[in-house]
Amino acid sequence: MKRGLLLAAWAAASVLAVPAQAQVSADWVRAHETFLAGDELRGRGSATPDEAIAAAYVAAQFRGFGLQPAPGMDGYLQKAEIVRLKLKAPITLTANGAPVPGAVLLVGDGTGSEGVARLTPAKAMSKMAPAPVMLIVGDMPVMQLYRLARSFKTPRLLLIRESADTQAMIKGLHGEPRLPGGLRGEPREPAPSIVVLPAAAFDALAAQKDAKVSLTVPAEETVATTTNAIGWLPGSDPKAGVLLLSAHLDHLGVQGDGTVMHGANDDASGTTAVLELARTLAAKGKAKRGILFVAYGAEEIGGYGSTYFGAHPPVPLDQIVANVEVEMIGAQDPKLPAGTMMMTGYERSTLGETLKGHGALVTGDPYPEQNFFQRSDNYSLAKKGVVAHTISGWAVVPTYHSKDDTVANIDIAFMTRAIQSLVEPLHALANSDAKPEWKPGGKPE
């Protein structure tokens, strides 16, 4: 073959190679999943060395795809310190000075947990005069009760009667109550304490009038480091704004009984999506807008990675024109049209319809009552005004937070198509002048 022909053949081959690189590949998807959700990473526990390895992996991939460190950063990793309280001795709960046997702390550090126990029907809690200590009657689920209590300044201590619900919670905690924590240097959010009492102890307390209750929680501070991985694809127009594509790389790690929680769906699938979007969008070359790719640490223990990122963004937040968080796209929801994903808070802004208009397989959230819009990392930025949503496959998948959330139980073909459907719409948005906007009443207050 002549040299000229060879060159022509080579040129044709390289023209074909570009679109192939911009294709999401089932092999890449499986490769990332297999590493991130493999036994070796031990479930990527929040703010653990396993999480740091996951972040280092994502960072190395970003570099390999040709992404740069984000503006102002000299590498691909952003670290943050989390200060958490840990129980150092058993709690004590007293009523009129006498210890109450069998009391189990679910959550809280006991701050302000002293006062006369006021008998309170759960449903009437919001209507009752404030009292620091409430003895709760009624069968409201603990999580709902906790959310309700958090929305008030009082009570500081809720005492509840043991039930199947509380037994399941206690089992899930493996003897480690949820004590509050926070990013170093930032004030800890005040949170109420919840204590479960054995039925007999609860009934005895309820029968006493005006029992004075006091809770002591002996705790010490522990410090752990969480890691965000950040990659940057610069745009050609610095004034055009920036897109942020994100997921969380941590999961539940190793449980007290040694069970590894692999988190293939939650959220190795989202991290894989961010990696494949980074690879394909980088292969498509420079767009008008820059794109930040971020895998957050420590989502599962309180969204610390995204909160830290929101407080220390490499570009000012008002330059971020949209954030798409990808969370749990490893399975598709039988409630949704085949092949589609849901976007939380879809109707709150124009982002969902813009992406859908360009072919993204997204639709509205069929579970508004679950408040998913508020329950993922997108919310840290949405609260600060950024148009930020989460895309999910099946938000109420049966393997959620179970040991069965493994690579064997995710749908690689669905994931591949779902991620592929986002490439062109995101590339179009990166090249557009149009800015996604909140609709009236859509912006969280």
Least Cβ distance, residue 169 to Zn ion (angstroms): 16
Both tokens assigned to 244: 């942020």
Between 266 and 377, name the residue whose CB sits nearer to Zn ion. 266
Asked if 93 contacts 224 with a C-beta cutoff of 8 angstroms, the reply is: no
Total residues at the site for Zn ion (CB under 5 A)?
Answer: 1
Residue 171 makes CB contacts below 8 A (sequence gap 6+) with: none
Nearer to Zn ion, 266 or 276 (CB): 266
Residues contacting residue 375 through CB under 8 Å, at least 6 positions apart: none
Q: Smallest distance, Å, CB 265 to Zn ion? A: 9
Cβ-based neighbours of 426, under 8 Å, separated by 6 or more: 243, 245, 277, 281, 291, 324, 355
Cβ atoms within 10 Å of 356's Cβ, excluding its own: 18
Least Å distance, CB 44 to Zn ion, is: 11
Structure token pair of residue 113: 């947990």
Q: Would you count residue 266 as binding Zn ion (CB under 5 A)?
A: yes
User: Please, what is the minimum distance in Å from the beta carbon of residue 22 to Zn ion?
Assistant: 30
The residue (of 35 and 400) whose beta carbon lies closer to Zn ion is: 400
The CA distance from 286 to 430, in Å, is 9
Residue nearest to Zn ion (CB): 266
* Beta-bridge mates of residue 226: 80
Supply the Cα-derived Rg of the chain in whole angstroms.
Answer: 24
Which range in 17-25, 39-47, 260-268, 283-291 contacts Zn ion by CB under 5 A? 260-268
| CA separation for the pair 75, 69 (Å, rounded) | 5
CA distances 308 to 242, 312, 335, 380, 415, Å, are 18, 6, 35, 9, 29
Cβ nearer to Zn ion, comparing 219 with 326: 326
* Cβ at position 196, least distance to Zn ion in Å: 24
Nearer to Zn ion, 354 or 392 (CB): 392
CA distance 248 to 264: 12
- Answer yes or no: are the C-beta atoms of 42 and 208 closer than 8 Å: no
Is the CB of residue 401 less than 8 Å from the CB of residue 261? yes
Query: Interacting stretch for Zn ion, rule CB under 5 A, among 78-86, 258-266, 276-284, 315-323?
Result: 258-266
Question: Contact region for Zn ion (CB under 5 A) — 78-86, 237-245, 264-272, 428-436?
Answer: 264-272
Mark residues 102-131: x for contact with Zn ion by CB under 5 A, - for none. ------------------------------
Q: In what order do the strands lie in the sheet with 92-95?
A: 98-99, 92-95, 212-216, 114-116
Round to whole Å and give the CA distance between 267 and 254. 16
Q: Which two tokens stand for residue 116?
A: 């006369």
Which residue, 296 or 346, has its beta carbon nearer to Zn ion? 296
Q: Decide whether 28 or 379 has the Cβ nearer to Zn ion.
A: 379
Smallest separation (angstroms) from Zn ion to the CB of 270: 10
Reference 208, options 97, 90, 128; nearest CA is 97
Give the interface with Zn ion as residue ranges (CB under 5 A). Answer: 266
